[in-house]
Amino acid sequence: MSLPRSKYEEDVYINNHISVWGSWWKDHQWGYKCCKQMIKNSYCTGAAGIEAAEAATDLMKANIARKEVTEGWCVGLILPFSLKHYY
């Protein structure tokens, strides 16, 4: 009889993942390397999920840029463009 190396199961893949929880790190958060999900026990969406997340991020950046131009606000400084030059 051999002793277990850890009290936790190792290399256990759940919810369609092909990597373990904690195999990916971004913005001070752990996640799954296979789909870059940072929600533990989430269902793996694979490459399609990665592409969808990147598309959503790109769309959000485009919407922010469009809003800055159309509304005349600089989100980074929270000042109207006319006041930005004085600071």
Whether the pTM exceeds 0.85: the reply is: no
Q: What are the residue ranges spanned by the domains of the chain? A: 9-44
pLDDT tens string 28-85: 999 999 999 999 999 999 999 999 989 999 999 999 999 888 876 555 555 555 555 5
Under 8 Å CB-to-CB from 13, ≥6 apart: which residues?
19, 20
Q: Which long-range contacts (CB under 8 A, 24 or more apart) does 34-43 make?
A: 41/14, 41/15, 42/15, 43/15, 43/16
Q: Within 13 A of 5's CA, how many CA atoms are on the CB side?
A: 3
